Structure 1
Amino acid sequence: MITKEFHLTLEEARALAICSQHLSENSKLKDPVEVVRALAGVQYDPNPVVSQNHYLVLWNRIPEFKEEDLDRAAYHERTLIEVYAMRRNKFFVPTDEFILYRKATRQIRRWGGSDADREAKECTSEDKRAEDMVVQAFAKNGPMVQEQLWTNLRHYEEWKDYVKRTRSGQKVKAPPLISAFYRMLRRGDVIVADRLPGTFRQPVFGLKDLLIPGPWPNENVTEEEATRWLVLRILKAYGITDRSHIAYITGLPSKKVEEALEYHRKQGLAATASIEGIRGQWWVIPDWQMVIEKNNNHRKISLLSPLDNFVRNRKWLNKLFNYTFTMEYFQKKNMKWQLSILFGSDFVGYVDCKADRKKNQFLVKSAEIKCKSKCLSAALDNSLLNLAKFHGLSKIIYL
């Protein structure tokens, strides 16, 4: 059944996107796993200027969320897993959906090639022996950080040299043993078993079969089926989007995205749409009106990390919300870490914050806010106070 084309006002389109991203006041999801599932994954990022991105994403969507809630799901219950997927490097996704993300994104090119290309090339007897050595090391010693792994494999100096040279920008071919480890990590044979306490949360690695016994769910799905599934999942995660937005988020070629959307349109699971005042073809979930009715946003305030799912593609954001910001991730000195302020259905500016954990202070370094009001000021002050408490910090300092 092919659904008709819908026509949305700008207000309806914005409300739909906010509700689909579970940023509305009445969002019912409270379980981190289900929020990650609904968002089509949450990007892992180590930047510790404030709480890491994956924690902030959930803090904005789950009342009373604590960092240990995500850690428990990922590293103890193992209902979430870190995976190399989509255009960006690492995401948390539900463990039972790992294979779907994996198969849908194997052909995506990152770091100079795709995982499918590497697996086709790195399949010699030497590569297999290297993988066996990695398996034996983990089987004998259990989960380890990389320093322990390479020490046990008597490969520590080679690994240090490889890391040093790659970080300096050199194009270096990884030795077979190191290549085997990273190949197994991307494939899911080795997983992040835990993360150590500390600012950057060093990963502890282990064998998937020892930590999550048995086959992956959905192992028999085809690449085409997985791609269709991922495109639909992204559409549902945003409610309304366009082909280029999905291609940007996933890394899939635009042609594959278009083919998947057309497939779902014929199944009645997706529909084309137009937005009043915005040019171009959009795609929408057919039950969009019901989503808006169930999740009226009112005047909730959210402080969104630059890597939050909602603002990650600034082109889509600017088209739909007439808002953008400058990303300064790779700037070493005086870097802004802008938390975009979503108030109701409008972006009203940003605050640049930093958590000074040594001094027990939450620093508000600068702010740029349009359309100031008493209502907004009160909501923002309260949200910053809650964010400071989330970091375990008792003082807010406005610089």
Structure 2
Amino acid sequence: MTTPLRTLTRQHARRLAISRQHLDGRATPPLLDLIRDLGCVQLDPIRHVERTHLLVLWSRLGQFDEAELERLRWQDRALFEYWAHAASLVLTEDYPVHRWRMELLHDDANSRQARAWKAWFDEEADTMYPLLDYVRAQLQQNGPMLSRQFEEEAAKFPSRWYNGRYVPRILDYLWSKGEVMVHGRLGNQRLWGLAETFWPDWTPLESWQPEQVTAVAAQKSLRALGVATPTQIKYHFTRQTYPALTAVHKQLLQEGVIEKVQIVENGQPLKGDWTMHSADVPLLEAIQAGNWQPHTALLSPFDNLICDRDRTELLWDFFYRIEIYVPAAKREYGYYVLPILHGDQLIGRVDSKMDRQTNTWHIHNIYAQPNAPADEGTIKGVGTAVQNLAACLGATQITWGNLPATWAALAKLEQ
């Protein structure tokens, strides 16, 4: 007898995702456990409001002891910087998952990325190979170094990301291969050192087979998403780095580790082979029974909940694109726009900038989605989210620009 598919509404799917992302109203877990559930927290140098990893954590934790995060990174080394869906903080306990990507760069025959690097090295062999040896030797001799501490006489190459310097590019190559790691930060500058001196004694340094890598990574991705299709699983966490996902996904289904579900809206199922992790069934059942606590928060443009733009539009009817690289005159909303999560809906966005000279948070524009609620609870929720982020930013003053007419009362809330 065939067991009927578990059925969710889109609202159930949203609430499950929000709960798994710790963006609902429940008490949040300790910092390391929170990051463990997220899988990764993206890093980005832009500080127009604040750096994204802090925004992501503040949305969930509110103000927290940032010294604890620094301890986890540089003393305990329970976290390290590496590629996930972008450059991110990831867990040292997940090292075997990330090692698979590192090993790809050692495999010219089967890795397009490895071949691309080799082609560039070969094209500029007189510069690249001696410089590669030099960088390795300097790190071996001196220990961790900033990229600017390397003497470099080579001519520059055209680049918008590396100022045309070869050494940062070589360090990036060695980092991607797992030969060097970020040992610390001086402001926004990375302190590079040999990987062999970075890992704590308890690090699981073993190399896994591709299927084992994917079995672990796919479950981590799926649990972070709540409910997802294979395409969404592949786009999350270790983005596009899921060898043999089709076969592994099928095996996880057969073993009952994950299960098929359907999402129904207005009597019609959403397209796609949707699955959820069996461990999250009790959470889903609680949500479907009405046991769910809402929360209002301003999200980073790079927040894990919305980093898959297509999924965000499918489940939330919220079209979102980062406009950092769009000319100012052509931007629809602004340079660095924070989506507003209210309960299980994305109801608007905040275009703002933090002035650290005057400790003033300038809110240029707030945009409400069509049919966004404007009741007292919504205004209070959005206002509280703004005030909470202002406190995290250390803003002593908020200036208000353009507000939706229905949300004009925001500017009158106490700061």
TM-score of the alignment, normalized to the shorter chain, above 0.5: yes
Aligned to 1:363: 362
Helix, strand or coil for the counterpart of 2:274?
strand
Please give the per-residue CA displacement for 1:301-349, whole angstroms capped at 9, x wherever unaligned.
0111111010111211111122222320213547432211111111111
CA distance in structure 2 between the aligned counterparts of 1:253 and 1:191, rounded to whole angstroms: 20
Task: Give me the whole-angstrom Cα distance separating, in 2, the residues matched to 1:224 and 1:130.
Answer: 36
Q: Give me the TM-score of the superposition, normalised by structure 2.
A: 0.81
Alignment CA distance shift 1:275-1:213 (3 Å):
closer
SS in 2 for 1:158: coil
Residues 367, 104 of structure 1: alpha-carbon distance in 2 compared, 3 angstrom cutoff:
same
CA contact (8 A) 1:339 1:352 kept: yes
Say which of 185, 191, 194 aligns to 2:181.
191
Instruction: Report deviation, 1:119.
Output: 7.5
CA contact (8 A) 1:75 1:194 kept: yes
Question: Corresponding residue for 2:297?
Answer: 302
Distance 1:202 1:15 in 2: 38
Q: Residue 57 of structure 1 corresponds to which residue in structure 2?
A: 56
Please, which of 260, 283, 295 is the counterpart of residue 291 of structure 1?
Answer: 283
The count of residues paired between Structure 1 and Structure 2 equals 377
Mapped contact 1:97–1:218 kept (Cα < 8 A): no
In the alignment, does 2:390 pair up with 1:388?
Answer: yes
2:314 is matched with: 319
1:69 Cα deviation after fit: 3.2
What is the distance in 2 between the residues matched to 1:168 and 1:288?
Answer: 41
* Residues 260-290 of structure 1 deviation map (CA, whole Å, 9 limit, x = unaligned): 2212111211111111114212111224341
The alpha-carbon deviation at position 247 of structure 1 amounts to: 2.7
Distance in structure 2 (CA, Å) of the matches to 1:4 and 1:42: 36
Aligned counterparts of 1:137 and 1:91: Cα–Cα separation in 2: 26
Distance across 2 between alignment mates of 1:179 and 1:380 = 42
TM-score (norm 1): 0.84
Instruction: Give me the whole-angstrom Cα distance separating, in 1, the residues matched to 2:96 and 2:112.
Output: 16
CA deviations on 1:87-143 (whole Å, 9 max, x unpaired) are: x3x1110112123123157659xxxx744446877799x988765533331233222
How far is 1:84 from its partner?
Answer: 2.3
Following superposition, the deviation at residue 189 of structure 1 comes to 1.9
Match of 1:243 in 2: 230
SS at match of 2:11: helix
Q: Secondary structure at the match of 1:329?
A: coil
Q: Which stretch shows the higher mean deviation, 208-217 or 335-344? A: 208-217
Residue 10 (1) aligns with residue 10 (2): yes
How many Å apart are 1:79 and its aligned residue?
0.9
CA distance in 2, matches of 1:383, 1:298: 16
Q: 1:254 to 1:273 in 2, by over 3 A?
A: farther
Partners of 1:133 and 1:231 lie apart in 2 by: 39
1:231 maps to 2:227: no
Name 2:45's counterpart in structure 1. Answer: 46
Residue 209 (str. 1) matches residue 196 (str. 2): yes
CA distance in 2, matches of 1:331, 1:274: 38
What are the ranges of 5 or more consecutive residues in structure 1 without an aligned counterpart?
none
Would you say 1:92 and 2:89 are equivalent positions?
yes
Q: Kindly state the Cα deviation for residue 85 of structure 1 after the two structures are TM-superposed.
A: 3.4
1:35 partner letter: L
Question: What CA distance in whole angstroms lies between the structure 1 residues aligned with 2:148 and 2:113?
Answer: 25
Letter in 2 for 1:380: V
- Give the 3-state SS of the residue equivalent to 1:38 in structure 2: helix
State the shift of 1:64 in Å. 3.0
Q: Quote how far apart the aligned CAs of 1:38 are.
A: 1.0
Distance change (3 Å), C-alpha of 1:270 and 1:106: farther
Change (3 A) 1:178 1:135: same
Aligned to 2:407: none
Write the mapping of 1:24-173 to structure 2, written as runs, cut at 5 A: 24-31=24-31, 33-86=32-85, 88=86, 90-103=87-100, 114-117=112-115, 131-148=132-149, 150-151=150-151, 155=152, 157-158=153-154, 161-162=156-157, 165-167=158-160
Higher relative contact order (CA 8 A, sep 6+): 1
- CA 317–287 in structure 1, closer or farther in 2 if over 3 Å, else same: same
User: What is the aligned-residue identity percentage?
Assistant: 25
CA distance in 2: counterparts of 1:352 and 1:210, whole angstroms: 42
1:168–1:134: structure 2 CA closer, same or farther, 3 Å change rule?
A: closer
- How far off its partner does 1:178 sit? 6.6
* CA RMSD in angstroms, aligned pairs only: 3.2
> For the residues of structure 2 that align with 1:228 and 1:135, how far apart are their CA atoms?
34
Answering whether residue 254 of structure 2 is matched by residue 270 of structure 1, we say no
- 1:215 is displaced (CA, Å) by 8.3
